Structure 1
Amino acid sequence: MLLPRLEFNINDYMLPCMNKKFFGVDCPGCGIQRSISLILQGDFSGAFYMYPAIYSLILLFGFIGVNHFYKIKYANKIIISLLVINFVLVFTNYINKFI
């Protein structure tokens, strides 16, 4: 007897954007879930085009995680710099969506 093959599609489990659902306008975070999905599928350039700040966000959270276990000198300045870079990238992308 053959068992049915179970397929897992991560796109079926993505959360909807409540801002877009209620107001009809993208939020600054729209695209991040699909971008992570594309990274997990190995489409790194597609992930960047979907959400340009994805790699800087991964770098930021990775650095915060490493700093949690190994205290790094000048970590606060590095984290603030990464936060500013991410802020600029996220909102530049957000503004580009409307142009």
Structure 2
Amino acid sequence: MANLILFTYVSLEDFMLPCFTKQYFGIDCFGCGIQRSLALILRGEFMEAFKMYPAIYTLLLFFGIIGVNIFYKFNYAQKLIRNLAIINAIIIAISFINKYIN
């Protein structure tokens, strides 16, 4: 019962790390929003998570494939990982630029 009461008062946002780039320089970094986006996914707010950090789903796929590849080597894994890394870099860069244009 005590765990349930504690769980209702403690949220993931209480444990998030601050962005040092934003804190010291006043600008967002390429990763700003990823922690909040993961918290939104865990709460089931999938569209809000995408709006917060557009690369979240491709990053989850990227790290999921890397994790699977550690234990089970499959054909074309390196090519798939490389292509997902490029796609993620493009999405992150576009969303970063879009954040400052709008």
Total equivalences in the alignment: 97
TM-score (ref. length: structure 2): 0.91
5 Å-filtered alignment, 1:64-75, equals 64-75=66-77
Establish whether residue 51 from structure 1 lines up as the match of residue 92 from structure 2: no
Q: Following superposition of structure 1 onto structure 2, how do residues 17-36 of structure 1 map, counting pairs within 5 Å?
A: 17-36=19-38
Alpha-carbon offset, residue 12 of structure 1: 1.2
- Provide Cα deviations, 1:62-97, integer angstroms capped at 9, x if missing partner: 000011111011111111000000000001010011
Aligned to 2:11: 9
Report percent identity of matched pairs: 55
Name the TM-score, length of structure 1 as normaliser: 0.94
| 2:84 equivalent among 62, 70, 82 | 82
> 2:94 is matched by which residue type in structure 1?
T
SS at match of 1:62: helix
Higher helix share: 2
Gaps of 5+ in 2: none
Deviates more, 1:26-35 or 1:7-16: 7-16
